[in-house]
Structure 1
Amino acid sequence: MSEAEPMADEFDTVAWWTATAVAELGQDHALPAACRGSGSPAGLDWLGASLGLAPGTRLLDSGAGVGGPAEYAARSFGVRPVLAEPMEGACRAASRLFDNPVVVADGLALPFPDEAFDAAWSLGVLCTIEDKRAYLAELRRAVVPGGAVGLLVYTRAVESLPDQPEGNHFPTRSELADDLRATGLTLVEETLLADLPETPEDWNQAAARVEDVIERRHRDDERWQRAQSQQETIVGLIRDELVVGVLVSCRRD
């Protein structure tokens, strides 16, 4: 199995299945399902406030998945989001679920001119990138001088992990700090996901119902099985505090 397969299963195939499951259950399930793995409402609230998001802010969401966090920012802060996502299935799902512009694009080569956005964020993506400094440099390039850049990064709390999910390259917090400095991003504020309020139960239940529909329809599909195994590995690492979610708010120098 190539390293790309589990990533494509989760972020392409299962992403599209998520949109079709929401169509069965109702649009009130869209936001919880589409934010899975990209931070809780409390995390998105913290990051949006720290970045200074406000009505009319031009926000780039790089590695946007199926568009949940961008839609949350639009509803909560009044931003004008643009989504960039390399997986075509996720882009189709985002277009089906929400009414925000989305483009199929690699975060290492964003198809936008310099300084096109007031702010940018990338949630749960950096740990899947080997060349982290190139990825961060693209985020920096896309925002105006002094613009805000936000990240949700899953960081490695130990020297080596007992289980290494395929396609993931978790940095330590020290390595993350070095990469930010090297790419001209000044750390303003950070917090641990675990220190924020828990996700509301009705939000969790809505997301779980979507996952139940996907499992019912696709549990015999090898792509679902691979994605599920990958997800269970990462959840276990987070539960055991070997991998720690960190929200980071930065400014472009």
Structure 2
Amino acid sequence: MTETDPMADEFDTMAAWTAEAVAELGPDHAIPAACRGSGSPAALEWLCDRLRLGPGVRLLDCGAGVGGPAELAARRHGVAPVLAEPMIHACRASARLFDRPVVVATGDRLPFASGVFEAVWSLGVLCTVPDQAGLLAELRRVSRPQALVGLLVFLRTVAHLPQQPEGNHFLTDGELNGLLARTGLTVLERAELSDFADPEPDWQAAADRVEAVIERRHGADQRWQSARSQEQVIGQLISEGLVTGRLLVLQPAA
């Protein structure tokens, strides 16, 4: 029997399977598949605009997963992305799909000098790490003095959730505000993920085809079943309004 770890199943094993499925279907499936769980293209475009991304800007994607959002920013805005991701198979998958610089690293211990990035973002990562203050402190440390920090955070809207996805630590709005204040980050702009348009049909169809190939190949594998169960729990919490996604543009305090 294959031993399962829901976090590794969702973010590591699924990453490797995603790269395999894209190899079967074609490179036009890569970005839609690799943006899974990181917001719609419209939401990512809003964040790119607010972070003032442009040609040559060094963008750190912390907790980059398979690297879809960073690749989207590179192709649309000409940024030079660098990816940091703790899951080794996710790093390998992103390198296979997009061939961008990637390092295996946790967000609270980034292997970069201070003040080297002109923009930083971390999408859907904060709720998955135990040391949330450490992650935010590192994002601030590696940012240049005038750089902006982008976050996609998932927040709980109730005191207690009926189901707690394994490995997730959802903050309330008040807890997040307190955490940002303690780490010296000021909110410049915010937007609710639900306010943005859904992906275009072609984008969604490409992502769905990748998911179908993964299920066909691995649906009997306990790791696929574990990852799928984790996704369903989070999806249900979001659909019921118990967890909500929010985009934030942050500025380090002087």
TM-score of the two chains, using structure 1 as the length reference: 0.97
Aligned partners of 1:14 and 1:152: how far apart in 2?
A: 21
SS at match of 1:76: helix
Tell me what 1:241 maps to.
241
Tell me what 1:139 maps to.
139
State the shift of 1:130 in Å: 2.0
Tell me what 1:83 maps to.
83
Query: Do structure 1's residue 23 and structure 2's residue 23 form an aligned pair?
Result: yes
Tell me what 1:128 maps to.
128
Tell me what 1:250 maps to.
250
Query: Do structure 1's residue 152 and structure 2's residue 141 form an aligned pair?
Result: no
Tell me what 1:106 maps to.
106
CA displacement 1:198-227 (0-9 Å, x = unmatched): 211111110010000000000111100100
Query: Do structure 1's residue 224 and structure 2's residue 224 form an aligned pair?
Result: yes
- The one-letter code sitting in structure 1 at the alignment partner of 2:188 is V
Aligned partners of 2:69 and 2:159: how far apart in 1?
A: 31
Query: Do structure 1's residue 61 and structure 2's residue 56 form an aligned pair?
Result: no
Tell me what 1:34 maps to.
34
Tell me what 1:43 maps to.
43
- The one-letter code sitting in structure 1 at the alignment partner of 2:185 is L
State the shift of 1:178 in Å: 1.3
Aligned partners of 1:235 and 1:133: how far apart in 2?
A: 26
What is the percent sequence identity of the aligned residues?
A: 61
Tell me what 1:196 maps to.
196
Aligned partners of 1:76 and 1:247: how far apart in 2?
A: 19
SS at match of 1:146: strand
User: Unmatched 5+ residue regions in structure 2?
Assistant: none
- The one-letter code sitting in structure 1 at the alignment partner of 2:34 is A
Aligned partners of 1:150 and 1:243: how far apart in 2?
A: 19
State the shift of 1:155 in Å: 0.5
- The one-letter code sitting in structure 1 at the alignment partner of 2:50 is S
Q: Which moved more, 1:36-45 or 1:126-135?
A: 126-135
Aligned partners of 1:87 and 1:118: how far apart in 2?
A: 25
Aligned partners of 2:75 and 2:184: how far apart in 1?
A: 30
SS at match of 1:191: strand
Tell me what 1:206 maps to.
206
Aligned residues: 250
- The one-letter code sitting in structure 2 at the alignment partner of 1:5 is D
Tell me what 1:162 maps to.
162
CA displacement 1:38-80 (0-9 Å, x = unmatched): 1110110011111111111110000000000000110111111
Aligned partners of 2:239 and 2:210: how far apart in 1?
A: 22
Aligned partners of 2:218 and 2:128: how far apart in 1?
A: 25
State the shift of 1:126 in Å: 0.2
State the shift of 1:177 in Å: 1.4
State the shift of 1:146 in Å: 2.1
Aligned partners of 2:15 and 2:81: how far apart in 1?
A: 19
Aligned partners of 2:179 and 2:119: how far apart in 1?
A: 19
- The one-letter code sitting in structure 2 at the alignment partner of 1:222 is Q
Aligned partners of 2:76 and 2:124: how far apart in 1?
A: 20
- The one-letter code sitting in structure 1 at the alignment partner of 2:45 is D
Aligned partners of 2:114 and 2:31: how far apart in 1?
A: 30
Runs of 4+ in 1 over 2 A off after TM superposition: none
State the shift of 1:36 in Å: 0.4
- The one-letter code sitting in structure 1 at the alignment partner of 2:118 is D
User: Unmatched 5+ residue regions in structure 1?
Assistant: none
CA displacement 1:59-113 (0-9 Å, x = unmatched): 0000000000000110111111000000000000000000210111111100000
Aligned partners of 2:184 and 2:48: how far apart in 1?
A: 21
Aligned partners of 1:182 and 1:101: how far apart in 2?
A: 31
Aligned partners of 2:185 and 2:136: how far apart in 1?
A: 8
